[in-house]
Structure 1
């Protein structure tokens, strides 16, 4: 199955046939997973409709195929949405990346330790705030989806009264930092992060499949959770299928592959300064600047390669997805599966990325 996919991509991308052996090798490595789990792959060139392919069943115990327009949980790729949302408010001069966040939290700053008051959105979005990775585990039992702004405050408030555990500008990946960034946007707008994502990002781009939590629509893949040495399918009805909704700004978005590719195309358009783009060119390019390690604002930036690219991956441990933007080729690649298979998906995407994905037709 994956061998057929590889051959299809070779023809579609116009990839040199000398690289066919690389694709076939990848096919052999990933073939053992393909019959039991769903796989989605896609690409989009600038100005062209996205192309996607889906394979496998909706879960391991059925032969029912995943649908072509199925929605996939994208985990922390959500962070690129939250960062872009912040930058929309930066473009309007409502927010500043480098203003202490106390300026945006008049109701709460009196209870905040000075370490927290002095944080900036740039630090939150680049994982250089010193915040811990996650809230205490007890907060993950708070699963209400009503008044999420108040629930996010309830998660954050007991923490921001104390000094930061790691007060420095060093890189430390923090879901909690993104929850706080989302909370700030809610405070200045008076709308929930979920409403803002739909109104400010999804609607202008026509991302009609975008939603929150695990996908539950007909034909969507079910997630699979590790249970000792086995993978157990997780029904979208009656089981815990995702992290709690308050974690939204850090990673609860789902959408279909075409819309995920359109999201990547929108980043290309904005950074080129195309008219009616989601962001100003300056804000888009700011997101691609490395702040610490190889992380910018909502994107991982690979600068030490012959062909630079930006990317993000995501998982709630039951799905795994990866989005890559080849900045020199104006090409977006995505791959997703409904089981935590970071190695398999990363290898697939890297092979596609490294196999000269755009044929030069300038002659």
Structure 2
């Protein structure tokens, strides 16, 4: 899974489309500049959606245009949802942030280096675990039932010496899959069911997992992912194996994703929703190391003048799609940029879309 979490907002991408131009036209200019199949973006404040637009094709080679209500793949931006889901278990006292892997997996001979790793360390990529399973193991896990695959992955990685020194930062999808599996062990329900029951249904989010529509459909009803080759862009409706769920398989329309972002803005400002303010504070707190910005809620916490303080950001990609999100809770603003292609051009384009959205605040 390709996942780029970036710290600095657009130091090299400049906005050239704003003055005298509406948001839709601006996005079309960005889409053409970076040669994307499609791009969509929105900015929302406490007064509602300020600007929203989508432009381009759901699938190259077809006439169907993307819409602002289409579902886009969020990739690793799913992790913030998994962390929020975790907080619901913490509040029910079914789990503790400080629970150790040894105590959570008493039946497994945990490698001595991992015995005292805390659950919360999984959420900030401090458990020393590999980024992803190797190709052969990935293929074997892909053939199993989702929850069984997560159980096998956890067992395999927890009995061996971690790839990296415990306590050092190494971005790990494996860690989030194990975190999701722990919730499954506690509840007896799959991570997908937990997400539906505890987040999507409660918040009224029309979201799902994996590909946005059938890869056998003759006419694209939702955005297809795309892969950039040497001289072409190829549409592919695919995703990481379903067992990757807690690390990054959610897809959402922008407006529904924004419902999730809104509770984090409210939580930062002292308003409870599906979890308590104290839980939001934990999710918005970085790992306690000087200079670290990655929080227990799967955000990069930065400071920006335009936001009058903290911003929380993350990006995500399954290599075929790209998502880019920013929330600025002190000014009660959220910004989303998404595309149905991955790679550096999608990263630069969604950054440019974020800049365009910021212009709408002026």
TM more than 0.5: yes
Within the candidate set 5, 8, 21, 1:7 is matched to 21
Q: Which residue of 1 is the match for residue 138 of structure 2?
A: 140
RMSD: 2.6
For the structure 1 residues 145 and 261, does the alpha-carbon distance in structure 2 shift closer, same or farther, using more than 3 Å as the test? farther
Rounded to whole Å, the distance in 2 between the matches of 1:253 and 1:323 is: 14
Within the candidate set 343, 352, 358, 2:348 is matched to 343
Q: Which residue of 1 is the match for residue 315 of structure 2?
A: 313
1:43 corresponds to 2:43: yes
Within the candidate set 190, 211, 214, 2:211 is matched to 214
Q: Which runs of 5 or more structure 1 residues have no equivalent in the other structure?
A: 11-22
Rounded to whole Å, the distance in 2 between the matches of 1:147 and 1:175 is: 19
CA contact (8 A) 1:143 1:245 kept: no
- What displacement does 1:72 show? 0.5
For the structure 1 residues 5 and 333, does the alpha-carbon distance in structure 2 shift closer, same or farther, using more than 3 Å as the test? farther
Q: Which residue of 2 is the match for residue 284 of structure 1?
A: 280
Within the candidate set 189, 192, 208, 2:190 is matched to 192
Structure 1, residues 330-355: CA drift from partner, whole Å, max 9, x if none?
A: 011101011111111123214534x4
Rounded to whole Å, the distance in 1 between the matches of 2:275 and 2:17 is: 39
For the structure 1 residues 140 and 47, does the alpha-carbon distance in structure 2 shift closer, same or farther, using more than 3 Å as the test? farther
Secondary structure of the equivalent of 2:330?
coil
Q: Which residue of 2 is the match for residue 60 of structure 1?
A: 60
Which range moved further: 213-222 or 310-319? Answer: 213-222
TM-score with structure 1 setting the length: 0.84
Q: Which residue of 2 is the match for residue 99 of structure 1?
A: 99
For the structure 1 residues 223 and 40, does the alpha-carbon distance in structure 2 shift closer, same or farther, using more than 3 Å as the test? same
CA contact (8 A) 2:315 2:322 kept: yes
CA contact (8 A) 1:329 1:358 kept: no
Rounded to whole Å, the distance in 2 between the matches of 1:304 and 1:274 is: 22
Secondary structure of the equivalent of 1:31?
helix
Q: Which residue of 1 is the match for residue 174 of structure 2?
A: 176
- What displacement does 1:279 show? 1.5
TM-score with structure 2 setting the length: 0.84
- The alignment of Structure 1 onto Structure 2 pairs a total of residues equal to 333
Structure 1, residues 86-128: CA drift from partner, whole Å, max 9, x if none?
A: 11111222111122122222333xx221222321122110111
1:295 corresponds to 2:278: no
- What displacement does 1:264 show? 0.7
Q: Which residue of 2 is the match for residue 121 of structure 1?
A: 119
CA contact (8 A) 2:72 2:254 kept: yes
CA contact (8 A) 1:104 1:188 kept: no
Rounded to whole Å, the distance in 1 between the matches of 2:56 and 2:196 is: 30
- What displacement does 1:312 show? 1.1
Rounded to whole Å, the distance in 1 between the matches of 2:351 and 2:113 is: 37
For the structure 1 residues 172 and 118, does the alpha-carbon distance in structure 2 shift closer, same or farther, using more than 3 Å as the test? same
For the structure 1 residues 164 and 57, does the alpha-carbon distance in structure 2 shift closer, same or farther, using more than 3 Å as the test? same
Q: Which residue of 1 is the match for residue 200 of structure 2?
A: 202
CA contact (8 A) 1:67 1:219 kept: no
- What displacement does 1:179 show? 0.6
Rounded to whole Å, the distance in 2 between the matches of 1:68 and 1:151 is: 35
Rounded to whole Å, the distance in 2 between the matches of 1:288 and 1:145 is: 36
Secondary structure of the equivalent of 1:303?
strand
Give structure 1 regions of 4+ aligned residues with deviation exceeding 6 angstroms.
none
Structure 1, residues 14-51: CA drift from partner, whole Å, max 9, x if none?
A: xxxxxxxxx96x875543346x6111111222363685
Secondary structure of the equivalent of 1:219?
coil
Q: Which residue of 2 is the match for residue 18 of structure 1?
A: none
For the structure 1 residues 203 and 224, does the alpha-carbon distance in structure 2 shift closer, same or farther, using more than 3 Å as the test? same
Q: Which runs of 5 or more structure 2 residues have no equivalent in the other structure?
A: 1-15, 215-219
Q: Which residue of 1 is the match for residue 157 of structure 2?
A: 159
CA contact (8 A) 1:50 1:262 kept: no
1:244 corresponds to 2:246: no
